[in-house]
Structure 1
Protein backbone atom coordinates (compact mmCIF):
# COMPACT_ATOMS: atom_id res chain seq x y z
CA UNK A 1 0.00 0.00 0.00
CA UNK A 2 1.30 3.45 -0.98
CA UNK A 3 1.99 6.03 1.70
CA UNK A 4 4.03 9.17 2.27
CA UNK A 5 6.39 8.61 5.17
CA UNK A 6 8.30 11.28 7.05
CA UNK A 7 12.04 10.93 7.54
CA UNK A 8 12.64 10.88 11.31
CA UNK A 9 16.41 10.42 11.00
CA UNK A 10 19.12 9.31 8.62
CA UNK A 11 22.83 8.57 9.08
CA UNK A 12 25.69 6.75 7.41
CA UNK A 13 26.48 3.75 9.62
CA UNK A 14 29.19 2.09 7.49
CA UNK A 15 30.94 2.72 4.18
CA UNK A 16 28.14 3.82 1.80
CA UNK A 17 25.60 2.14 4.12
CA UNK A 18 22.77 4.36 5.36
CA UNK A 19 20.16 3.82 8.06
CA UNK A 20 16.90 5.72 7.68
CA UNK A 21 14.09 5.82 10.23
CA UNK A 22 10.69 6.59 8.72
CA UNK A 23 7.53 7.65 10.54
CA UNK A 24 3.87 7.30 9.60
CA UNK A 25 0.99 4.85 9.39
CA UNK A 26 2.67 1.97 7.56
CA UNK A 27 4.24 0.23 10.61
CA UNK A 28 0.74 -0.73 11.76
CA UNK A 29 0.52 -3.06 8.74
CA UNK A 30 4.01 -4.54 9.15
CA UNK A 31 3.80 -7.92 10.86
CA UNK A 32 6.27 -10.26 9.16
CA UNK A 33 10.08 -9.89 9.28
CA UNK A 34 11.72 -10.23 5.89
CA UNK A 35 9.23 -8.13 3.92
CA UNK A 36 10.40 -5.10 1.95
CA UNK A 37 9.41 -1.58 0.98
CA UNK A 38 9.44 -0.14 -2.53
CA UNK A 39 10.81 3.41 -2.50
CA UNK A 40 10.16 6.09 -5.09
CA UNK A 41 13.33 8.17 -5.52
CA UNK A 42 11.59 11.48 -6.30
CA UNK A 43 8.75 13.03 -8.29
CA UNK A 44 10.74 13.37 -11.51
CA UNK A 45 10.66 10.95 -14.43
CA UNK A 46 14.42 10.42 -14.23
CA UNK A 47 14.10 7.39 -11.94
CA UNK A 48 10.97 5.55 -12.97
CA UNK A 49 11.54 2.29 -11.11
CA UNK A 50 11.25 2.18 -7.35
CA UNK A 51 14.06 0.81 -5.18
CA UNK A 52 13.31 -2.31 -3.10
CA UNK A 53 14.76 -2.08 0.41
CA UNK A 54 14.27 -4.59 3.21
CA UNK A 55 12.74 -3.61 6.55
CA UNK A 56 15.35 -3.74 9.31
CA UNK A 57 13.32 -2.75 12.37
CA UNK A 58 9.66 -2.14 13.20
CA UNK A 59 8.54 0.04 16.12
CA UNK A 60 4.76 0.15 16.12
CA UNK A 61 4.62 2.02 19.43
CA UNK A 62 6.42 4.96 17.83
CA UNK A 63 4.82 4.48 14.38
CA UNK A 64 8.31 4.08 12.95
CA UNK A 65 10.27 1.57 10.92
CA UNK A 66 13.90 1.44 9.83
CA UNK A 67 15.49 0.67 6.49
CA UNK A 68 19.19 0.12 5.84
CA UNK A 69 20.48 0.43 2.28
CA UNK A 70 23.69 0.75 0.29
CA UNK A 71 24.30 3.74 -1.98
CA UNK A 72 25.16 2.27 -5.38
CA UNK A 73 23.82 4.63 -8.02
CA UNK A 74 22.27 8.02 -8.62
CA UNK A 75 18.89 6.93 -7.28
CA UNK A 76 20.12 5.79 -3.88
CA UNK A 77 22.46 8.80 -3.74
CA UNK A 78 19.40 11.02 -3.95
CA UNK A 79 17.67 9.05 -1.17
CA UNK A 80 20.79 9.44 0.99
CA UNK A 81 20.50 13.23 0.75
CA UNK A 82 17.08 13.32 2.43
CA UNK A 83 16.95 15.13 5.76
CA UNK A 84 14.79 14.90 8.87
CA UNK A 85 11.30 16.14 8.03
CA UNK A 86 11.49 15.25 4.32
CA UNK A 87 8.96 12.77 2.94
CA UNK A 88 9.39 9.57 0.99
CA UNK A 89 6.84 7.79 -1.22
CA UNK A 90 6.66 4.17 -0.03
CA UNK A 91 4.84 1.02 -1.16
CA UNK A 92 4.78 -1.46 1.72
CA UNK A 93 4.68 -4.01 3.22
CA UNK A 94 5.46 -6.18 0.20
CA UNK A 95 6.48 -9.79 -0.27
CA UNK A 96 6.41 -12.84 1.98
CA UNK A 97 8.81 -12.83 4.90
CA UNK A 98 10.24 -15.37 7.33
CA UNK A 99 7.88 -17.72 9.17
CA UNK A 100 8.20 -17.32 12.94
CA UNK A 101 8.54 -20.90 14.15
CA UNK A 102 8.82 -21.96 17.78
CA UNK A 103 12.25 -23.59 18.12
CA UNK A 104 14.86 -23.85 20.86
CA UNK A 105 17.97 -22.64 19.00
CA UNK A 106 18.35 -21.20 15.52
CA UNK A 107 21.23 -19.92 13.41
CA UNK A 108 20.87 -16.57 11.65
CA UNK A 109 23.29 -15.90 8.77
CA UNK A 110 23.64 -12.58 6.95
CA UNK A 111 25.92 -11.31 4.21
CA UNK A 112 26.51 -7.62 3.52
CA UNK A 113 23.34 -5.69 2.77
CA UNK A 114 21.43 -8.93 3.44
CA UNK A 115 21.98 -8.37 7.17
CA UNK A 116 19.26 -5.73 7.90
CA UNK A 117 16.05 -7.83 7.65
CA UNK A 118 17.58 -10.41 9.98
CA UNK A 119 17.61 -7.91 12.85
CA UNK A 120 13.82 -7.64 13.03
CA UNK A 121 13.65 -11.42 12.61
CA UNK A 122 16.02 -12.01 15.54
CA UNK A 123 14.11 -9.54 17.71
CA UNK A 124 10.85 -11.35 17.09
CA UNK A 125 12.34 -14.79 17.70
CA UNK A 126 13.88 -13.59 20.96
CA UNK A 127 10.47 -12.34 22.06
CA UNK A 128 9.20 -15.89 21.50
CA UNK A 129 11.95 -17.31 23.72
CA UNK A 130 14.05 -18.68 20.86
CA UNK A 131 17.85 -18.62 21.33
CA UNK A 132 19.53 -17.02 18.32
CA UNK A 133 23.14 -17.24 17.16
CA UNK A 134 24.23 -14.76 14.49
CA UNK A 135 26.98 -15.09 11.89
CA UNK A 136 27.43 -11.97 9.76
CA UNK A 137 29.76 -11.60 6.79
CA UNK A 138 31.22 -8.44 5.27
CA UNK A 139 34.00 -7.58 2.81
CA UNK A 140 36.01 -5.41 5.21
CA UNK A 141 35.94 -3.70 8.61
CA UNK A 142 34.63 -0.50 7.03
CA UNK A 143 31.53 -2.38 5.87
CA UNK A 144 30.52 -3.80 9.28
CA UNK A 145 27.30 -2.55 10.86
CA UNK A 146 24.70 -3.63 13.44
CA UNK A 147 27.20 -5.82 15.33
CA UNK A 148 26.22 -4.45 18.74
CA UNK A 149 22.52 -4.70 17.97
CA UNK A 150 22.81 -8.37 17.16
CA UNK A 151 25.03 -8.96 20.20
CA UNK A 152 22.20 -7.67 22.39
CA UNK A 153 20.06 -10.53 21.07
CA UNK A 154 22.52 -13.44 21.19
CA UNK A 155 25.97 -14.72 20.32
CA UNK A 156 27.30 -12.85 17.30
CA UNK A 157 30.27 -13.64 15.07
CA UNK A 158 31.72 -11.44 12.32
CA UNK A 159 33.64 -12.62 9.24
CA UNK A 160 35.42 -10.31 6.81
CA UNK A 161 36.78 -11.41 3.46
CA UNK A 162 40.01 -9.46 3.89
CA UNK A 163 40.52 -10.38 7.55
CA UNK A 164 40.50 -6.74 8.71
CA UNK A 165 37.94 -7.53 11.42
CA UNK A 166 36.62 -10.63 13.13
CA UNK A 167 37.38 -13.94 11.46
CA UNK A 168 39.13 -13.86 8.10
CA UNK A 169 37.08 -15.62 5.46
CA UNK A 170 33.40 -16.26 4.99
CA UNK A 171 30.41 -17.02 7.17
CA UNK A 172 30.81 -20.72 6.37
CA UNK A 173 34.29 -20.69 7.94
CA UNK A 174 32.72 -19.66 11.24
CA UNK A 175 29.76 -22.01 10.95
CA UNK A 176 32.06 -25.00 10.49
CA UNK A 177 33.59 -24.27 13.90
CA UNK A 178 30.22 -24.07 15.67
CA UNK A 179 29.36 -27.42 17.19
CA UNK A 180 25.99 -26.33 18.52
CA UNK A 181 22.94 -28.21 17.29
CA UNK A 182 20.46 -25.85 15.63
CA UNK A 183 16.83 -26.55 14.90
CA UNK A 184 16.94 -24.52 11.70
CA UNK A 185 18.66 -21.57 10.03
CA UNK A 186 17.57 -18.28 8.50
CA UNK A 187 19.72 -16.51 5.92
CA UNK A 188 19.83 -13.47 3.65
CA UNK A 189 22.67 -12.33 1.42
CA UNK A 190 24.43 -12.92 -1.90
CA UNK A 191 23.17 -15.85 -3.94
CA UNK A 192 26.54 -17.64 -3.78
CA UNK A 193 26.37 -17.57 0.03
CA UNK A 194 22.82 -18.90 0.03
CA UNK A 195 23.81 -21.65 -2.38
CA UNK A 196 26.68 -22.84 -0.19
CA UNK A 197 24.51 -22.74 2.94
CA UNK A 198 21.71 -24.66 1.25
CA UNK A 199 24.16 -27.34 0.11
CA UNK A 200 26.12 -27.68 3.36
CA UNK A 201 23.66 -27.07 6.21
CA UNK A 202 22.09 -30.30 7.43
CA UNK A 203 19.32 -28.40 9.16
CA UNK A 204 16.26 -27.15 7.34
CA UNK A 205 15.99 -23.43 6.89
CA UNK A 206 14.80 -20.37 5.04
CA UNK A 207 16.66 -18.10 2.63
CA UNK A 208 15.83 -14.61 1.38
CA UNK A 209 16.93 -13.80 -2.16
CA UNK A 210 18.29 -10.45 -3.27
CA UNK A 211 16.91 -9.48 -6.67
CA UNK A 212 16.13 -6.36 -8.71
CA UNK A 213 12.37 -5.82 -8.65
CA UNK A 214 10.52 -3.79 -11.27
CA UNK A 215 6.97 -3.27 -10.04
CA UNK A 216 7.14 -5.01 -6.64
CA UNK A 217 3.73 -6.68 -6.89
CA UNK A 218 4.02 -9.36 -9.57
CA UNK A 219 2.98 -7.58 -12.77
CA UNK A 220 6.25 -7.01 -14.67
CA UNK A 221 7.80 -10.50 -14.28
CA UNK A 222 11.27 -8.96 -13.88
CA UNK A 223 12.13 -11.07 -10.83
CA UNK A 224 11.08 -14.53 -12.00
CA UNK A 225 13.26 -17.39 -10.70
CA UNK A 226 13.21 -21.12 -11.36
CA UNK A 227 12.28 -23.58 -8.64
CA UNK A 228 13.97 -26.93 -8.20
CA UNK A 229 10.77 -28.64 -9.35
CA UNK A 230 10.95 -26.87 -12.74
CA UNK A 231 8.22 -24.33 -12.03
CA UNK A 232 8.79 -20.58 -11.78
CA UNK A 233 8.00 -18.02 -9.08
CA UNK A 234 7.98 -14.24 -8.81
CA UNK A 235 10.28 -13.23 -5.96
CA UNK A 236 8.44 -10.01 -5.16
CA UNK A 237 5.13 -11.69 -4.38
CA UNK A 238 5.91 -15.34 -3.63
CA UNK A 239 9.20 -14.46 -1.96
CA UNK A 240 11.69 -13.07 -1.23
CA UNK A 241 11.80 -15.79 1.46
CA UNK A 242 11.73 -19.47 0.50
CA UNK A 243 12.45 -22.78 2.13
CA UNK A 244 15.93 -24.21 1.71
CA UNK A 245 16.07 -26.27 -1.50
CA UNK A 246 12.95 -24.70 -2.99
CA UNK A 247 14.73 -22.32 -5.41
CA UNK A 248 17.32 -23.25 -8.03
CA UNK A 249 20.42 -21.29 -6.98
Structure 2
Protein backbone atom coordinates (compact mmCIF):
# COMPACT_ATOMS: atom_id res chain seq x y z
CA UNK A 1 0.00 0.00 0.00
CA UNK A 2 1.14 3.52 -0.80
CA UNK A 3 -0.30 7.01 -0.50
CA UNK A 4 -0.29 8.69 -3.88
CA UNK A 5 -1.51 11.86 -5.55
CA UNK A 6 -3.12 10.66 -8.77
CA UNK A 7 -4.12 12.76 -11.76
CA UNK A 8 -7.60 12.48 -13.25
CA UNK A 9 -7.25 11.60 -16.94
CA UNK A 10 -10.89 11.05 -17.87
CA UNK A 11 -14.35 11.04 -16.30
CA UNK A 12 -17.27 9.66 -18.29
CA UNK A 13 -20.87 8.83 -17.46
CA UNK A 14 -21.50 5.32 -18.80
CA UNK A 15 -24.98 4.50 -17.41
CA UNK A 16 -27.62 5.95 -15.12
CA UNK A 17 -25.64 7.46 -12.19
CA UNK A 18 -22.60 5.32 -13.13
CA UNK A 19 -19.25 6.93 -13.91
CA UNK A 20 -15.97 5.63 -15.28
CA UNK A 21 -12.78 7.40 -14.18
CA UNK A 22 -9.22 6.88 -15.38
CA UNK A 23 -6.43 7.87 -12.96
CA UNK A 24 -2.70 8.12 -13.49
CA UNK A 25 -0.15 7.57 -10.75
CA UNK A 26 2.38 5.27 -9.11
CA UNK A 27 -0.40 3.39 -7.38
CA UNK A 28 -1.27 1.59 -10.62
CA UNK A 29 2.14 -0.11 -10.56
CA UNK A 30 1.40 -1.57 -7.11
CA UNK A 31 -1.77 -3.48 -8.01
CA UNK A 32 -1.22 -7.22 -7.57
CA UNK A 33 -4.58 -8.93 -8.07
CA UNK A 34 -7.95 -8.05 -9.60
CA UNK A 35 -10.47 -7.34 -6.88
CA UNK A 36 -8.33 -4.94 -4.87
CA UNK A 37 -9.60 -1.42 -4.19
CA UNK A 38 -8.42 2.12 -3.57
CA UNK A 39 -9.47 4.57 -0.83
CA UNK A 40 -10.11 8.06 -2.20
CA UNK A 41 -10.14 11.39 -0.43
CA UNK A 42 -12.63 13.26 -2.57
CA UNK A 43 -11.89 16.81 -1.33
CA UNK A 44 -9.06 18.70 0.35
CA UNK A 45 -11.38 19.83 3.14
CA UNK A 46 -13.04 17.95 6.01
CA UNK A 47 -16.41 17.33 4.38
CA UNK A 48 -16.93 14.55 3.67
CA UNK A 49 -14.50 13.37 6.35
CA UNK A 50 -14.02 9.75 5.35
CA UNK A 51 -12.38 8.43 2.21
CA UNK A 52 -14.45 6.49 -0.29
CA UNK A 53 -13.54 2.88 -1.14
CA UNK A 54 -13.81 2.10 -4.88
CA UNK A 55 -12.85 -1.17 -6.55
CA UNK A 56 -10.33 -1.22 -9.38
CA UNK A 57 -11.88 -2.20 -12.71
CA UNK A 58 -8.72 -2.39 -14.83
CA UNK A 59 -5.02 -1.56 -14.73
CA UNK A 60 -2.68 -0.29 -17.45
CA UNK A 61 0.76 -0.58 -15.85
CA UNK A 62 2.55 0.45 -19.04
CA UNK A 63 0.98 3.90 -18.79
CA UNK A 64 0.70 3.90 -14.96
CA UNK A 65 -3.09 4.17 -15.15
CA UNK A 66 -6.04 2.49 -13.52
CA UNK A 67 -9.76 2.59 -14.21
CA UNK A 68 -12.45 2.78 -11.57
CA UNK A 69 -16.23 2.67 -11.95
CA UNK A 70 -18.54 4.04 -9.28
CA UNK A 71 -22.15 5.01 -8.65
CA UNK A 72 -22.83 8.66 -7.86
CA UNK A 73 -25.22 8.45 -4.93
CA UNK A 74 -24.03 10.18 -1.79
CA UNK A 75 -22.17 13.41 -1.19
CA UNK A 76 -18.70 11.93 -1.66
CA UNK A 77 -19.34 10.10 -4.92
CA UNK A 78 -21.25 13.09 -6.28
CA UNK A 79 -18.18 15.25 -5.72
CA UNK A 80 -16.03 12.55 -7.29
CA UNK A 81 -18.20 12.46 -10.41
CA UNK A 82 -17.67 16.22 -10.87
CA UNK A 83 -13.88 15.97 -11.11
CA UNK A 84 -12.36 17.07 -14.40
CA UNK A 85 -9.19 15.99 -16.25
CA UNK A 86 -6.08 17.51 -14.73
CA UNK A 87 -7.38 17.58 -11.16
CA UNK A 88 -5.67 15.39 -8.58
CA UNK A 89 -6.91 12.99 -5.91
CA UNK A 90 -5.27 11.80 -2.68
CA UNK A 91 -5.45 8.01 -2.78
CA UNK A 92 -4.44 5.09 -0.55
CA UNK A 93 -3.97 1.70 -2.14
CA UNK A 94 -4.06 -0.79 -3.50
CA UNK A 95 -5.92 -2.29 -0.55
CA UNK A 96 -7.38 -5.67 0.31
CA UNK A 97 -6.94 -9.17 -1.01
CA UNK A 98 -8.28 -9.73 -4.49
CA UNK A 99 -9.56 -12.75 -6.39
CA UNK A 100 -7.30 -15.82 -6.44
CA UNK A 101 -6.55 -16.26 -10.15
CA UNK A 102 -4.49 -19.42 -9.63
CA UNK A 103 -7.49 -21.56 -8.66
CA UNK A 104 -8.40 -22.42 -12.25
CA UNK A 105 -6.04 -23.89 -14.85
CA UNK A 106 -5.63 -22.93 -18.47
CA UNK A 107 -8.44 -24.55 -20.43
CA UNK A 108 -10.78 -24.41 -17.44
CA UNK A 109 -14.01 -22.43 -17.24
CA UNK A 110 -14.78 -19.54 -14.89
CA UNK A 111 -18.12 -17.83 -14.35
CA UNK A 112 -18.08 -14.14 -13.44
CA UNK A 113 -21.38 -13.18 -11.78
CA UNK A 114 -21.77 -9.50 -11.01
CA UNK A 115 -24.60 -7.39 -9.70
CA UNK A 116 -24.83 -3.61 -10.17
CA UNK A 117 -21.77 -1.78 -8.92
CA UNK A 118 -20.27 -5.19 -8.07
CA UNK A 119 -19.60 -5.66 -11.78
CA UNK A 120 -16.44 -3.49 -12.16
CA UNK A 121 -13.83 -5.63 -10.33
CA UNK A 122 -14.90 -8.65 -12.37
CA UNK A 123 -13.77 -6.98 -15.59
CA UNK A 124 -10.12 -6.82 -14.52
CA UNK A 125 -10.46 -10.40 -13.30
CA UNK A 126 -11.80 -11.47 -16.68
CA UNK A 127 -8.86 -9.84 -18.46
CA UNK A 128 -6.42 -11.72 -16.25
CA UNK A 129 -8.18 -15.07 -16.64
CA UNK A 130 -8.32 -14.74 -20.41
CA UNK A 131 -4.57 -14.07 -20.47
CA UNK A 132 -4.12 -17.35 -18.61
CA UNK A 133 -6.15 -19.31 -21.17
CA UNK A 134 -9.30 -19.65 -19.04
CA UNK A 135 -12.72 -19.65 -20.69
CA UNK A 136 -14.72 -16.76 -19.24
CA UNK A 137 -18.53 -16.70 -18.99
CA UNK A 138 -19.97 -13.45 -17.64
CA UNK A 139 -23.45 -13.07 -16.15
CA UNK A 140 -24.24 -9.48 -15.18
CA UNK A 141 -27.31 -8.30 -13.30
CA UNK A 142 -28.82 -4.80 -13.23
CA UNK A 143 -32.09 -3.14 -12.21
CA UNK A 144 -33.02 -1.88 -15.68
CA UNK A 145 -31.62 -1.31 -19.17
CA UNK A 146 -30.55 2.22 -18.23
CA UNK A 147 -28.29 0.75 -15.54
CA UNK A 148 -26.40 -1.64 -17.84
CA UNK A 149 -22.73 -0.88 -18.46
CA UNK A 150 -19.62 -2.62 -19.83
CA UNK A 151 -21.65 -5.21 -21.75
CA UNK A 152 -19.39 -4.91 -24.81
CA UNK A 153 -16.23 -4.99 -22.70
CA UNK A 154 -17.26 -8.25 -21.06
CA UNK A 155 -18.41 -9.65 -24.40
CA UNK A 156 -14.85 -9.20 -25.68
CA UNK A 157 -13.77 -11.69 -22.99
CA UNK A 158 -16.26 -14.42 -23.86
CA UNK A 159 -19.93 -15.38 -23.54
CA UNK A 160 -21.84 -12.61 -21.78
CA UNK A 161 -25.41 -12.61 -20.48
CA UNK A 162 -27.44 -9.73 -19.04
CA UNK A 163 -30.28 -9.95 -16.52
CA UNK A 164 -32.46 -7.02 -15.49
CA UNK A 165 -35.07 -7.01 -12.75
CA UNK A 166 -37.66 -5.35 -14.98
CA UNK A 167 -36.79 -7.34 -18.10
CA UNK A 168 -35.90 -4.31 -20.23
CA UNK A 169 -32.58 -5.89 -21.23
CA UNK A 170 -31.61 -9.54 -21.45
CA UNK A 171 -33.27 -12.07 -19.16
CA UNK A 172 -35.98 -10.81 -16.81
CA UNK A 173 -34.88 -11.56 -13.27
CA UNK A 174 -31.55 -12.11 -11.60
CA UNK A 175 -28.17 -13.63 -12.39
CA UNK A 176 -29.32 -16.85 -10.74
CA UNK A 177 -32.16 -17.09 -13.28
CA UNK A 178 -29.60 -17.02 -16.11
CA UNK A 179 -27.38 -19.58 -14.38
CA UNK A 180 -30.29 -21.92 -13.67
CA UNK A 181 -31.59 -21.61 -17.22
CA UNK A 182 -28.25 -22.13 -18.94
CA UNK A 183 -26.83 -24.84 -16.67
CA UNK A 184 -23.19 -23.95 -17.30
CA UNK A 185 -20.48 -26.40 -16.28
CA UNK A 186 -17.73 -24.40 -14.59
CA UNK A 187 -14.65 -25.03 -12.51
CA UNK A 188 -14.97 -21.83 -10.51
CA UNK A 189 -17.38 -18.97 -9.89
CA UNK A 190 -16.27 -15.47 -8.92
CA UNK A 191 -18.90 -13.00 -7.81
CA UNK A 192 -19.38 -9.48 -6.46
CA UNK A 193 -22.61 -7.67 -5.73
CA UNK A 194 -25.40 -7.15 -3.19
CA UNK A 195 -25.69 -9.56 -0.27
CA UNK A 196 -28.94 -11.28 -1.41
CA UNK A 197 -27.22 -12.20 -4.67
CA UNK A 198 -24.13 -13.48 -2.88
CA UNK A 199 -26.27 -15.60 -0.55
CA UNK A 200 -28.13 -17.14 -3.48
CA UNK A 201 -24.93 -17.93 -5.34
CA UNK A 202 -23.27 -19.39 -2.25
CA UNK A 203 -26.29 -21.65 -1.68
CA UNK A 204 -26.36 -22.83 -5.30
CA UNK A 205 -24.31 -25.49 -7.02
CA UNK A 206 -22.85 -23.54 -9.91
CA UNK A 207 -19.16 -24.47 -9.80
CA UNK A 208 -16.57 -26.56 -7.97
CA UNK A 209 -15.39 -23.52 -6.02
CA UNK A 210 -16.91 -20.10 -5.37
CA UNK A 211 -15.25 -16.86 -4.29
CA UNK A 212 -17.28 -13.87 -3.11
CA UNK A 213 -16.25 -10.22 -2.99
CA UNK A 214 -18.03 -8.35 -0.20
CA UNK A 215 -19.26 -4.76 -0.38
CA UNK A 216 -19.25 -3.01 3.00
CA UNK A 217 -19.09 0.53 4.34
CA UNK A 218 -15.56 1.28 5.52
CA UNK A 219 -13.85 3.77 7.78
CA UNK A 220 -10.07 3.47 7.57
CA UNK A 221 -9.77 0.84 4.82
CA UNK A 222 -6.66 -0.70 6.42
CA UNK A 223 -8.10 -2.88 9.19
CA UNK A 224 -7.68 -0.52 12.14
CA UNK A 225 -11.20 0.75 12.85
CA UNK A 226 -13.24 -2.50 12.73
CA UNK A 227 -16.09 -0.75 10.91
CA UNK A 228 -16.43 -3.41 8.20
CA UNK A 229 -16.28 -6.68 10.13
CA UNK A 230 -18.25 -9.81 9.31
CA UNK A 231 -18.56 -13.00 11.33
CA UNK A 232 -16.61 -16.14 10.56
CA UNK A 233 -18.91 -18.98 9.62
CA UNK A 234 -17.02 -21.72 11.48
CA UNK A 235 -17.15 -19.95 14.87
CA UNK A 236 -19.84 -21.60 17.04
CA UNK A 237 -19.82 -18.76 19.58
CA UNK A 238 -20.07 -15.97 17.04
CA UNK A 239 -17.17 -14.03 18.52
CA UNK A 240 -14.65 -14.31 15.66
CA UNK A 241 -14.64 -11.79 12.88
CA UNK A 242 -13.01 -11.03 9.56
CA UNK A 243 -12.35 -7.49 8.35
CA UNK A 244 -13.64 -6.94 4.83
CA UNK A 245 -11.05 -4.25 4.05
CA UNK A 246 -7.92 -6.19 5.03
CA UNK A 247 -8.91 -9.88 5.26
CA UNK A 248 -11.12 -9.49 2.19
CA UNK A 249 -12.89 -8.13 0.33
CA UNK A 250 -12.71 -11.53 -1.38
CA UNK A 251 -13.56 -14.64 0.65
CA UNK A 252 -14.07 -18.27 -0.25
CA UNK A 253 -17.71 -19.31 -0.06
CA UNK A 254 -18.45 -20.60 3.43
CA UNK A 255 -15.68 -18.63 5.10
CA UNK A 256 -17.85 -15.80 6.45
CA UNK A 257 -21.52 -15.23 7.20
CA UNK A 258 -23.20 -13.15 4.52
TM-score range, shorter chain: over 0.9
Quote the residue 2:67 is aligned against.
66
State how far apart, in whole Å, the 1-side matches of 2:30 and 2:85 are: 23
Quote the residue 1:12 is aligned against.
13
In the alignment, does 2:242 pair up with 1:233? Answer: yes
In the superposition, relative to structure 1, how do residues 157 and 176 fare at CA in structure 2: closer, same or farther (>3 Å)? same
Q: CA deviation at 1:87?
A: 0.3
TM-score under structure 1 normalisation? Answer: 0.98
State how far apart, in whole Å, the 1-side matches of 2:119 and 2:224 are: 28
In the alignment, does 2:174 pair up with 1:165? Answer: no
CA-based RMSD of the aligned residues comes to 0.8
- Secondary structure in structure 2 of the residue aligned to 1:154: coil
**Which ranges in structure 1 are unaligned for 5 or more consecutive residues?**
none
State how far apart, in whole Å, the 2-side matches of 1:164 and 1:228 are: 37
Q: 2:57·2:68 contact (CA, 8 Å) conserved in 1?
A: yes
Quote the residue 1:93 is aligned against.
94
Equivalenced residues, count: 249
Return the match for 1:175 from 147, 163, 179: 179
Q: 2:7·2:23 contact (CA, 8 Å) conserved in 1?
A: yes
Q: CA deviation at 1:202?
A: 4.7
Q: CA deviation at 1:69?
A: 0.2
Q: Runs in 1 of length 4+ with deviation above 2 angstroms?
A: none
- Secondary structure in structure 1 of the residue aligned to 2:201: helix
**Which ranges in structure 2 are unaligned for 5 or more consecutive residues?**
none
In the alignment, does 2:213 pair up with 1:208? Answer: yes
State how far apart, in whole Å, the 1-side matches of 2:183 and 2:117 are: 27
State how far apart, in whole Å, the 2-side matches of 1:238 and 1:248 are: 14
Quote the residue 2:226 is aligned against.
221
Q: CA deviation at 1:187?
A: 0.2
Q: 2:41·2:52 contact (CA, 8 Å) conserved in 1?
A: yes
- Secondary structure in structure 1 of the residue aligned to 2:181: coil
State how far apart, in whole Å, the 2-side matches of 1:45 and 1:52 are: 17
Range moving further from structure 2, 14-23 or 202-211: 202-211
Alignment of 1:65-214 (within 5 A): 65-101=66-102, 102-103=104-105, 104-203=108-207, 204-214=209-219
TM-score under structure 2 normalisation? Answer: 0.95
Q: CA deviation at 1:180?
A: 2.7
State how far apart, in whole Å, the 1-side matches of 2:159 and 2:214 are: 24
Range moving further from structure 2, 5-14 or 101-110: 101-110
